[in-house]
Structure 1
């Protein structure tokens, strides 16, 4: 029980359960999952599917934040990937061909890789602050997407492309499978190899890591490339689900949701240790919160305020002050002295002397 209370995941999980209880109280069948035509349907399935793009980006964002970085350009990169993919598909001789879709996706991912190298080089090689370096692409990226689409919303009618955002595989939505694959890949690469330890070491002390022989520049560039690729993948999911490329709105503010998911999951913005499991829970909290807003019937005009209030509450529950208060409460339950209290004086030893007990002063 004590170990459970010390876990940084306890509050995000508790908030997630509270949100689910609220939804069940309003819609009794909220947790029901049904099978229709061999596909899974239900509110929980919708939460997983709609939250998949945020989770995909949040997993890569976790690694960036672990190196003391931040990436504000993920929304713009997703918009660029979606715009380029749709433009290539509609200009191709056979827009509905799976080969055409695969080629368009491949070209978009290569461009995303180049954008990730750009961000990583600005941060690692030129020494720009991550928030400034990625803000450049955040600002220019939407303009690049607008240039690709010539300021128009590009609609694509391609069944092969539509599968990415709204298709099913073995009854499970494809976006959910993509998100699970990203989480598993990140977990295997960072927890089953030394890569995760190296990322944490760079985040804790970059200079000491460099002097220890770790190629910190390469690692930093690598996590920004991974983040750009994840952003492009999320952008493709969003664009496919909409069957259209909207340079202005695709992935708008998704970088904020991804960062919030990472923070809610317990990863510190100061870098160092991180939690992929916490990021998964954080992304589910974000999407469940959005679903709760619609389920409860909160007016759209106060939606962002309600969302901010819940996220603030979760962050406050995870704050050092709250953690210290809980620690004092646990010690009081065990009857232990408070931290920093002086230990009790040792019992006074006695020695025998001339038939009488003499206390040693």
Structure 2
């Protein structure tokens, strides 16, 4: 019983349980869900598709986790920033011919331009939140509203196609590798972020500022700079995710790239057991939450649910999962466990 209590008290227990439940449902609804086939040295299957399609969401969830932890707010502009980053990259490759001709590898130039734009957007949000003390929801609403308009201006209101094989590698497969490239990009982002947070004091600083920014400032921490950096990093993550999304469809579609991704990223953070009030965070919890959301989406598609109806079913499941992780449900669970322990103790006394 003590072992069970330790397991259930583990911070990632509920996120992992929720993911396991979603995956178990697939055994009943879609018997072929876990089947993996190999074609031309590349792995295919529903489960591979879940891991692959969740890559952008995992990257966004990493950046969103740090933003939520430091500022007790969310960045609702990450989907629009993805569209802006993709538009800028395609503009450099297709529209900015002088820049392309002046550089030996235009794809790298376009990729760097997208990342720089993502960081600039993140810095803009960070300045409004950290320095100007504007509510995060209101501050990021500016780019949420204007971001796709900016992307439309960059692409002149058209879908910009890039017919270059090297451009497709980031969203498809690198020859010789059995898994899609986005999976490796997502793993790299998570590992690098974990190393930075664990090997430096930045992770502790972020949590400290999120718990009490005034107290952190009194002990010498530059809370304004820390919050600013988390938003800049979130913008960088959005830029990377935008490049992957753009590479998947070989084009910059300002209207659809990253559409509603900010909502899924926030949900991934919440499903990962992180408090949206800031403070302590679990990066792996957010990653698990991202895979849970994508597994749920893929499950609904496999069950022939139309794209228009998916948000309804997803909302119902998310409400149940969030309710299971709520403090009130935790109190109820503790009461039930307490009653069970007391009844068990009484039965032992009666036997004795």
Q: Would you say 1:19 and 2:19 are equivalent positions?
A: no
**How many angstroms does 1:126 deviate by?**
1.0
Q: Distance in 2 between matches of 1:319 and 1:7?
A: 15
Question: Could you say which structure has the larger radius of gyration?
Answer: 1
Q: Specify which of 142, 157, 160 is matched with residue 136 of structure 1.
A: 142
SS of 1:335's equivalent in the other structure is: helix
**Residue aligning to 1:323:** 330
**How many angstroms does 1:164 deviate by?**
0.6
Q: Would you say 1:164 and 2:163 are equivalent positions?
A: no
Residue segments in structure 2 that go unaligned for 5+ positions in a row: 345-352
Q: Map residues 248-263 of structure 1 onto 2, 5 A cutoff.
A: 248-263=255-270
Residue segments in structure 1 that go unaligned for 5+ positions in a row: 338-361
Residues 58-81 of structure 1 show CA distances to partners (whole Å, capped at 9, x for unaligned) of: 011000000113111111111011
Contact 2:114–2:243 (Cα < 8 Å) also in 1? no
Residue range with higher mean Cα deviation, 100-109 or 290-299: 290-299
**Residue aligning to 1:4:** 7
TM-score, normalisation: structure 2: 0.91
Residue range with higher mean Cα deviation, 190-199 or 217-226: 190-199
Distance 1:307-1:227 versus aligned 2 partners, 3 A rule: same
Q: Map residues 1-361 of structure 1 onto 2, 5 A cutoff.
A: 1-67=4-70, 68-91=72-95, 92=97, 99-168=105-174, 170-335=177-342
**Residue aligning to 1:349:** none
Q: Distance in 1 between matches of 2:212 and 2:233?
A: 21
Q: Distance in 2 between matches of 1:313 and 1:52?
A: 24
Residue range with higher mean Cα deviation, 265-274 or 102-111: 102-111
**How many angstroms does 1:28 deviate by?**
2.0
Contact 2:122–2:231 (Cα < 8 Å) also in 1? yes
How many residue pairs get matched?
A: 336
Contact 1:66–1:203 (Cα < 8 Å) also in 2? yes
Q: Distance in 1 between matches of 2:264 and 2:52?
A: 15
Q: Distance in 2 between matches of 1:303 and 1:103?
A: 38
**Residue aligning to 1:355:** none
**How many angstroms does 1:22 deviate by?**
2.0
Residue range with higher mean Cα deviation, 328-337 or 69-78: 328-337
**How many angstroms does 1:98 deviate by?**
7.8
**How many angstroms does 1:201 deviate by?**
0.3
Residues 167-188 of structure 1 show CA distances to partners (whole Å, capped at 9, x for unaligned) of: 2362121100000111111111
**How many angstroms does 1:114 deviate by?**
1.5
Distance 1:45-1:119 versus aligned 2 partners, 3 A rule: same
The structure 1 segments of at least 4 consecutive aligned residues displaced by more than 6 Å after TM superposition are none
SS of 2:43's equivalent in the other structure is: strand
SS of 1:136's equivalent in the other structure is: helix
Q: Distance in 1 between matches of 2:77 and 2:308?
A: 27
**How many angstroms does 1:328 deviate by?**
1.6
**How many angstroms does 1:249 deviate by?**
1.0
Distance 1:29-1:320 versus aligned 2 partners, 3 A rule: same
Distance 1:322-1:189 versus aligned 2 partners, 3 A rule: same
Distance 1:144-1:301 versus aligned 2 partners, 3 A rule: closer
- Larger helix share, 1 or 2: 2
